[in-house]
Structure 1
Amino acid sequence: MMADQRDKRTHRTTRRDLLVALGGASTAALAGCSTTLGTDSGSTLRVGTLRPPLSLDPITARAIGSEQAIDRIFEGLYGYGEGTDIVPAIAAGEPEIADNDREVVVELDDGARFQNDRAVTAEDVVYSYTAPLEEDAPTEWLASPFDSVESDGEHTVRFTLAEPYPALEHALTHPIVPRQEREDDREAFATNPIGAGPFEVASFSAEKKTTLRRWDDYWGETPPAIDRFTMVYVEFPVTQLTSLRTNRNDLIEPVSPLIVDHVSDVANASVKRQQGYTSFYFGFNCNEGPTTDPRVREAISYCIDLEKAVSEFVEPMGQRQYSPLPPQVAEEWNMPTDEWAELANEQNPERARDLFREADAASGQLRILTSTDPKHKEFGEALAGGLRDASHGALTISTSETKFLERHVTGSERDYSVFVGEITGTPDPDTHLYPTFHENMTGVTNGTFYREDAVMERLASARTTTDREQRRDLYETAITRLLEDRVCLPICSFENSFAVDAGVENFRVHPIARVNPRLVWEDGVVTVGSES
């Protein structure tokens, strides 16, 4: 009991503790956030984020910090409405679907233009869906259901599928890039791209800051009200809150459980949140090293109390989950979450030691790879502590987001035995499961290197099965096997959340993570009032 109480004091912050920390940290925080200070005239909105932008190229982007900036710069054929239904963007209307869901024809809005004033053509759309496959890019999984993508004149695109793809509507939201402009210099395009969205790039510094300016000639029906928009990386939640209190930032996101109860105490702001589709998990290296042995993976599962970890590190901004699917997706698909919860082991250091000895893996250090995201680090360190309690060596390696994304898919024992992964998807299970676990994405977005034919066949079949109940059964069987084989340890789902200054008006949080922070939509815009 004493140890538990001590642990809770370590991770729970009182109002007085936080105020003291804010007071002591204010000078350093101001120095760290000075780059976000707006000096331009006009309406400026600044966001302090824990998710650094890495690249602005939609073809190669693989981090939510990048995707959130990209979504302001680019348009897809379709975008998301208030919820998760799609609405036309570059498309002139609804897609025409024929040949038993195997042919999709999309007409383009003839007014759609890129930020260099060139018209968006069907060839640009074709390129946007074929380049990921040709380049083995992280977005390959999204384009792979299409057998062919062809232009039919300047303003018509024809998608052909070998089999129907039930998650088609989400695939049609992929950002459209200008073919020639990207091909002229891909490296330059990744830092200063040309899109068809309402904002264009003013400056970009990888893993630090993205500044966008309103494109005054935006062709869409609703132009943004914000003149200048900055997303700046802030490493710590307390520093985020300091920046909000001192008006260095107008929004901060995501809102850490550490500060959520204190936002209104220290800043003229409120917390806005929405249940989303982002989840965390421990992924195991099934390619090299001790974690190729299922007994070692099972032993590791006995080394951490995930209920306690979620209670201390996540709640009330998220909840425990027992599969790779966020709870609302599992519920919507009537998945057996109670049965999956029973597969989750309780912490048992003695049982872990027995399994390590049985597998002849009682010596040596297990390498736990995380990014610098505070949540990743907390989970990694909690697992490392549990491994040490089970008399097994563990080393937590926290590295930059860029290096993490490179290393966690190498399959090399030198890089990781376990990694803390993050899945950001949509209401369709395919967006959570195929890029994360299918062998076709191994070394790209799949770092587990798990190759069980029965699971791969089911994940692939579920992509081409239109009968919802049959899809559900395929996913249930595949997930159950993933859990039984300890390919991953699901941790939690996390809400999409922002702390918003009182001067920011009409701000809404969207359930799809990359849509945030949404500044303009069909019938509304975000504005910054006199209090900002």
Structure 2
Amino acid sequence: MRRRTLGRDNISTGTDSRGGANAENTGDVQRRPTRRDLLAGIGGASATLLAGCSTTVGTGPAPTLRIGTLRPPITLDPIEAESIGSEQAIERVFEGLYAYGEGTNVVPAIASGQPTTENDGREFVVELDDGARFQNDRDVIAEDVVYSYTAPLEEDAPTAWRVSPFESVEAEDERTVRFTLSEPYPALEHALTHPIVPRQEREDDREAFAANPIGAGPYEVASFSAEKKATLIRWDDYWGETRPAIERLTLAYVEFPMTQLTSLRTNRNDMIEPVSPLIVNHVGDVANASVKRQQGYTSFYYGFNLNEGPTTDPRVREAISYCIDLEKAVSEFIEPMGQRQYGPLPPQVAEEWDMPTDEWTDLANEKNVERAKNLFREADAASGQLRILTSMDPKHKELGEALAGGLRDADHGALVISKPETKFIERYVSGSERDYSVFVGEISGTPDPDSHLYPTFHENMSGVTNGTFYREDAVMERLTSARRTDDRERRRELYEAAVTKLLEDRVCLPICSFENSFAVDAGVENFRVHPISKVNPRLAGEQGVVTINGGDGS
């Protein structure tokens, strides 16, 4: 199969181109370790840790790669996945009709080539590659594609937003699929990268499938432990053109950045990701490694519970916005691996779409404790604790504690509740004030604004991927209309108005963007970081395959 770049105009109907134990933390923000703390901690790694290490780079009978990640995989089912950790494992096991190339362009994967467009772009036909097979040696057929695009809607799954624009998806024969749109969908090319799953195999036992799935990608699942580790082995009968050199890939959850760095130094892991701002300047000091980074499309925000509790009062949300110096928080916890942003769109998306970022900056409040106190009194919300929900991700916890500290400065109680990824994903969309008043959210999207705004704020996704439960008809109509027009300037106007209203109503407090980053042992060669988070770690692509010490895996 030859993968060809799929032109934007040819595929688009428009013209434009998230397991440790449960923890409840109530203390102040802890002092960040100094350089001396780091080096002392790493240099004094315990004998028991060292005894448990296994050097993987360049050793053993086959090339193996082990990655220590702060983002644990929690499911391997593409229909149900919504966290970066899950998606990163899924992308090795499954293929979509199309896949991302070296950048954000898409190229044929299961599709044999470019789609044929009919009915003024409202219908398009995709032919499947004759060689496309699942790992049980069954051909990928059109019925599997139809199922992959209709199951998310039928199951009200986290991925439903990606496929909801399609009016119908039908199999014309075993190798031909017809997609029909009732309206244009400018983000079509991104939707067509959705992983294709085998219908019958998933329906036989969905629970088993989520832990041991069958895909059409270059890697099979060897073992999986939710929120701990996924080990994948290369499928040597992979039907695709490019065969990875790495035969065994392990994605292992590591809870703390310092532990990550120690694991890299002792060869427990060959790569770590993402690279915490806490350790980025020390990678070269303690390991024969380097940091590889790429500006991506991931951002953090504080989301408010507008369904129940004190944060349904706009005065309380405004008071909270005066409780934290976000410039300082980003400087302390994020830089240099990210930057402050003032809207829910990453800086490069906002710039590409010519958004009024200066105006959005003016809507952000500076810390003002007295103003916060007055607003809390006006809202009669001076008593009780605000519950701040975070995942176990260290950055999320730091941002949660920073906000809690600011609330205490304003004489308001705050409780930070940090949960493992599975529990966090369940609770931040519950809408229950017992679970959260505020949550630290993370958006990982594409260059199209729809991927950042629709799943995060549209009422259709409330309780699924939207934990704010914001209801404002004008904003919902704009978010819907923006994904139904191929007029780029009209889309820009709709998104500008929607985001401005979201910020004025303080549905969220945008925090920052965060780069895609890996610290990589010198023995790992030809590894490049992709701007789309889920594509990482990319082990094979148009510019060759990742190797270990020059090995080709053959």
TM-score (ref. length: structure 2): 0.92
User: Does residue 404 in structure 1 map to residue 409 in structure 2?
Assistant: no
1:2-49 superposed Cα distances (whole Å, 9 cap, x missing partner):
xxxxx99933622x3211021234446547877999996311000000
Cα distance in 2, alignment partners of residues 402 and 109 from structure 1: 36
Whether the 8 Å contact between 1:100 and 1:164 is mirrored in structure 2 is no
- Candidates 289, 297, 313, aligned match of 1:269: 289
Map residues 103-142 of structure 1 onto 2, 5 A cutoff: 103-142=123-162
Amino acid at match of 1:126: V
In structure 2, the residue matched to 1:213 is: 233
Whether the 8 Å contact between 1:29 and 1:242 is mirrored in structure 2 is no
Cα distance in 1, alignment partners of residues 394 and 271 from structure 2: 18
In structure 1, the residue matched to 2:544 is: 524
Cα distance in 1, alignment partners of residues 235 and 500 from structure 2: 48
Whether the 8 Å contact between 1:48 and 1:234 is mirrored in structure 2 is yes
- Candidates 513, 529, 537, aligned match of 1:493: 513
Please tell me the root mean square deviation across aligned C-alpha atoms, in Å: 1.8
In structure 2, the residue matched to 1:288 is: 308
How far did 1:312 drift?
0.6
In structure 1, the residue matched to 2:380 is: 360
- CA separation of 1:231/1:36 partners in 2, compared to 1, >3 Å: closer, same or farther? farther
Cα distance in 1, alignment partners of residues 45 and 438 from structure 2: 33
In structure 2, the residue matched to 1:22 is: 42
In structure 2, the residue matched to 1:13 is: 34
How far did 1:503 drift?
0.3
In structure 1, the residue matched to 2:84 is: 64
In structure 2, the residue matched to 1:332 is: 352
1:190-234 superposed Cα distances (whole Å, 9 cap, x missing partner):
000000000000000000000000000000011110110000000
SS at match of 1:152: strand
Cα distance in 1, alignment partners of residues 328 and 78 from structure 2: 37
Cα distance in 2, alignment partners of residues 215 and 523 from structure 1: 21
Structure 2: state its 5+ residue gaps.
Answer: 1-27
In structure 1, the residue matched to 2:17 is: none
- CA separation of 1:204/1:357 partners in 2, compared to 1, >3 Å: closer, same or farther? same
In structure 2, the residue matched to 1:3 is: none
Cα distance in 2, alignment partners of residues 32 and 283 from structure 1: 40
In structure 2, the residue matched to 1:308 is: 328
How far did 1:75 drift?
0.3
Cα distance in 2, alignment partners of residues 31 and 433 from structure 1: 47
- CA separation of 1:432/1:221 partners in 2, compared to 1, >3 Å: closer, same or farther? same
Whether the 8 Å contact between 2:62 and 2:247 is mirrored in structure 1 is yes
Map residues 375-454 of structure 1 onto 2, 5 A cutoff: 375-454=395-474
Amino acid at match of 2:407: L
Cα distance in 2, alignment partners of residues 44 and 411 from structure 1: 43
User: Does residue 54 in structure 1 map to residue 81 in structure 2?
Assistant: no
User: Does residue 479 in structure 1 map to residue 499 in structure 2?
Assistant: yes
In structure 2, the residue matched to 1:182 is: 202
Structure 1: state its 5+ residue gaps.
Answer: 1-6
- CA separation of 1:8/1:192 partners in 2, compared to 1, >3 Å: closer, same or farther? closer
- CA separation of 1:167/1:33 partners in 2, compared to 1, >3 Å: closer, same or farther? farther
In structure 1, the residue matched to 2:163 is: 143
Amino acid at match of 1:11: R
Whether the 8 Å contact between 2:29 and 2:405 is mirrored in structure 1 is no
Cα distance in 2, alignment partners of residues 168 and 27 from structure 1: 53
User: Does residue 98 in structure 1 map to residue 95 in structure 2?
Assistant: no
Whether the 8 Å contact between 2:57 and 2:523 is mirrored in structure 1 is no
SS at match of 1:195: coil
Whether the 8 Å contact between 2:58 and 2:548 is mirrored in structure 1 is no
In structure 2, the residue matched to 1:4 is: none
Map residues 164-175 of structure 1 onto 2, 5 A cutoff: 164-175=184-195
- CA separation of 1:460/1:222 partners in 2, compared to 1, >3 Å: closer, same or farther? same
Amino acid at match of 2:242: T
How far did 1:523 drift?
4.5
SS at match of 1:431: helix
Cα distance in 2, alignment partners of residues 438 and 419 from structure 1: 17
User: Does residue 153 in structure 1 map to residue 173 in structure 2?
Assistant: yes
Amino acid at match of 1:470: R
Cα distance in 2, alignment partners of residues 460 and 35 from structure 1: 51
SS at match of 1:500: strand
In structure 1, the residue matched to 2:24 is: none
Amino acid at match of 1:84: T
Cα distance in 1, alignment partners of residues 183 and 442 from structure 2: 29
Whether the 8 Å contact between 2:273 and 2:519 is mirrored in structure 1 is yes
1:176-201 superposed Cα distances (whole Å, 9 cap, x missing partner):
00000000000000000000000000
Question: Which sits farther off after the overlay, 22-31 or 178-187?
Answer: 22-31
Whether the 8 Å contact between 1:114 and 1:178 is mirrored in structure 2 is yes
Whether the 8 Å contact between 2:29 and 2:401 is mirrored in structure 1 is no
- CA separation of 1:177/1:293 partners in 2, compared to 1, >3 Å: closer, same or farther? same
Whether the 8 Å contact between 1:104 and 1:158 is mirrored in structure 2 is yes
Whether the 8 Å contact between 1:55 and 1:191 is mirrored in structure 2 is yes
Cα distance in 1, alignment partners of residues 131 and 459 from structure 2: 41
SS at match of 1:11: coil
Cα distance in 1, alignment partners of residues 283 and 328 from structure 2: 24
Cα distance in 1, alignment partners of residues 54 and 202 from structure 2: 33
SS at match of 2:121: coil
Cα distance in 2, alignment partners of residues 292 and 32 from structure 1: 50
1:480-510 superposed Cα distances (whole Å, 9 cap, x missing partner):
0000000000000000000000000100000
- Candidates 360, 368, 392, aligned match of 1:348: 368
Map residues 209-288 of structure 1 onto 2, 5 A cutoff: 209-288=229-308
1:386-410 superposed Cα distances (whole Å, 9 cap, x missing partner):
0000000000000100000000000
How far did 1:465 drift?
1.1
Cα distance in 1, alignment partners of residues 55 and 318 from structure 2: 46
How far did 1:102 drift?
1.1
- Candidates 82, 86, 99, aligned match of 1:79: 99
- CA separation of 1:39/1:200 partners in 2, compared to 1, >3 Å: closer, same or farther? farther
Whether the 8 Å contact between 1:8 and 1:312 is mirrored in structure 2 is no
